[in-house]
Amino acid sequence: MTTARADVSETALRWPEQPALGGWYTQDEIDAVMQTLTDSADWRTGFRAKAQEMTFEDAFAAHAAVPFAIAYNGAGTAMDQVLACLDLRPGDEVISGALNFVGPHLSVLRAGARLLLAEPSPGGFNPDPEHVARLLTGRTRAILVTHMNGQVADLQPLLDLAERHPHPEYGPARIVVDAARAVGAETDLGPVGRAGWASVFSFQSKKGMTTLGEGGMITTRDEALAVRLRRLRSFGKGRLLGSNFKMTKLQAAVGLVQLRRLRDMNDRRIHLAEQRTEHLRDLRIPGLVLPPSIGRAHTHYLYNVLLPEDWGAAGRDEVRRLLAGRHGVGSLTGERPTPHGHELIARATAGQHLPAAKRTADRALHPCLHPLMSDAENREIAEAIGDAVRTAAATRT
Ligand SMILES: *Cc1c(COP(=O)(O)O)cnc(C)c1O
């Protein structure tokens, strides 16, 4: 994530800018690692991962209510493989939300597609279906949706759009979901991972659950896709130009434990986020847009605050400085539109104007939130946010 640095060193912060979100391990994860190490000392099996990997995949598929889950060494490689399975040709187009991590957009460019960026919905971070509708053409092959910062994007309007305007040769555009920040989230369409053609999850150390710092998963209901992905993951199994993207046995064993604990871990984060929102509402700070409290449809990967629009990035940065300097609360400024985060994306999307995405990015602040923070600490942080925003407002007049 690209961020501007505050004027204070991180060591001075009582709460870091972005703590690792996963890595909340219990004795169960430690036992799983030790057991796997001990079992692997058998020279007949060693670190052969297949059994553990299949157990983890089956559990993850059941969790996402899909027939197929395919484990990967990371979400970046997993997204590359999903997009490779679109068999894109020059001129084919993929639409995606502009406010995003650069990773999925680099995957689109590597797959050889033209990347069309959509503006966010008003007051939010996820793509605006109305703007997506305007970008849809006879060459659209996929709509890549990221559930930004843990808030589930509404996929139904995008699924409807794709159905109404099918590609002349390939049919409706595929809905590809980047669920890296929304593992365990639940929606009207079922658990995240069920709706759409394929969903990609990350178990990197910042995500809601982690398999020793790196790892990923793809879920799908499309059997042909699942079979192809499994072959590609393991050197093509005699027929495809595959490579090796496999997860290790230790990662799978730990993933199984983390998956069992996922709901509790997410619920703690959701509790803290909703509690913080309630505190901030009570403080009645004018102009502040707070994240919606929508239960498990928002896992609050980051706690999203939008400052008043006319303050711009400078006003937001002042709040960030005050939060850190006066209160020791670290925060992130979060993602800008991806062309600002990577020169190759900028080159590939030159001429696409995204004023709404830029305005939202300039207003966004993400104060530290971590499931292991106490309720009392959370209240202190809410009060710090209130103080910083009021102070910044007073210096403006
Ligand atoms: C972390 C992240 C990724 C990449 O995941 P890795 O497992 O680190 O490759 C992709 N998309 C989003 C939105 C992410 O937050």
- In contact, 379 and 279? CB cutoff 8 Å: yes
Instruction: Express each pLDDT in 308-328 by its tens digit.
Output: 999 999 999 999 999 999 999
| 347 vs 37: CA distance, rounded Å | 47
Q: Are residues 60 and 200 in the same domain?
A: yes
Nearest-atom number in ligand 1 for the CA of 301 is: 15
CA atoms of 129 and 153, how far apart (whole Å): 10
Range of the domain at 138: 27-258
Quickly state the pLDDT bin for 45 (edges 50, 70, 90): confident
pLDDT band of 264, cuts 50, 70, 90: very high
In a domain, 351, yes or no: yes
Residues 143 and 159 in one domain: yes
- Check residue 6 and give its pLDDT: 46
Question: Would the CB of 146 count as within 6 Å of ligand 1?
Answer: yes
Q: Does 122 map to a domain? A: yes
Q: Ligand 1 in contact with 180 (CB < 6 A)?
A: yes
Does the Cβ of 22 fall within 6 Å of ligand 1?
no
pLDDT above 60 (res 288): yes
Q: Is 213 helix (H, G, I), strand (E, B) or coil?
A: coil
- Which CATH number does the domain housing residue 336 bear? 3.90.1150.10
Residue-wise pLDDT for 78-106, tens only, equals: 999 999 999 999 999 999 999 999 999 99
| One domain, residues 267 and 291 | yes
Q: How far is the CA of 181 from the centre of ligand 1 (A)?
A: 7
pLDDT in tens, 177-193: 999 999 999 988 899 99
Q: Is there a single domain that holds both residue 283 and residue 232?
A: no
Count structural domains, the chain: 2
**Mean pLDDT, the chain, integer:** 94
pTM reported for the whole predicted model: 0.96
Residue-wise pLDDT for 212-263, tens only, equals 999 999 999 999 999 999 999 999 999 999 999 999 999 999 999 999 999 9
Enclosing H/E stretch for 178: strand 174-178
Q: How confident is the model at residue 9 (pLDDT cuts 50, 70, 90)?
A: low
Q: Among residues 214, 242, 258, which one ends one of the domains?
A: 258
Ligand 1 contacts CB of residue 75 (under 6 A): yes
Same domain, 280 and 240: no
Distance CA 388, CA 397 (A): 15
Ligand 1 centroid to residue 352 C-alpha, Å? 24
Show contacts of 223-230: CB within 8 Å, 24+ apart: 223/67, 223/68, 225/68, 225/82, 225/85, 225/197, 225/198, 226/67, 226/68, 226/70, 228/85, 229/70, 229/81, 229/82, 229/85, 230/70
SS3 call for 21: coil
In CATH, what number is assigned to the domain containing residue 211? 3.40.640.10
DSSP β-bridge partners for residue 306 = 289, 364
Q: According to the model, what pLDDT value does residue 49 have? A: 85
Average pLDDT over residues 109-120: 97
Q: Smallest Cα–Cα separation from 29: which of 252, 216, 217?
A: 252
Return the best residue to mutate from 80, 199, 207 for the ligand 1 pocket (most ligand atoms within 8 A of CB): 207
User: Encoding tokens for residue 185?
Assistant: 């989230």
| H or E segment to which residue 144 belongs | strand 140-146
pLDDT of residue 396: 83
Alpha carbon of 203 to ligand 1 centroid (Å): 8
